[in-house]
Amino acid sequence: MSTAVAILVAITFTWLGMVSSISFIETPLKFRAPNVTLQIGLGIGRLVFRALNTVEAVLALVIVIAAAVGRPGTCTAIAFAVAVIALAIQLVAVRPRLNRRSDRVLAGVIAPRSKGHYAYVGLELIKVVALLVAGISLLAAAAGS
Spatial separation of the C-alpha atoms in residues 47 and 2, rounded to whole Å:
36
* CA nearest to 22, candidates 140, 127, 145: 127
Do 10 and 131 form a contact (C-beta atoms < 8 A)?
A: no
Q: What is the pLDDT of residue 13?
A: 96
Domain ranges of the chain: 3-144
Span 139-145, mean pLDDT? 83
Span 102-116, pLDDT tens digits: 888 888 888 777 888
From residue 76, alpha-carbon distances to 9, 17, 47, 59, 110 in Å are 11, 18, 31, 16, 44
Span 57-92, pLDDT tens digits: 999 999 999 888 878 889 999 999 999 999 999 999
Dihedrals φ, ψ of 111, to 5°? -115, 150
Which residues are CB-contacts of 34 (< 8 A; sequence separation ≥ 6)?
A: none
Q: What is the pLDDT of residue 145?
A: 65
Q: Report the mean per-residue pLDDT for the chain.
A: 91
Span 8-38, pLDDT tens digits: 899 999 999 999 999 999 988 888 889 888 8
Q: What is the pLDDT of residue 126?
A: 98
pTM attached to this predicted model? 0.91
* Helix runs in the chain, H state only: 3-21, 27-30, 38-70, 74-89, 95-106, 116-144
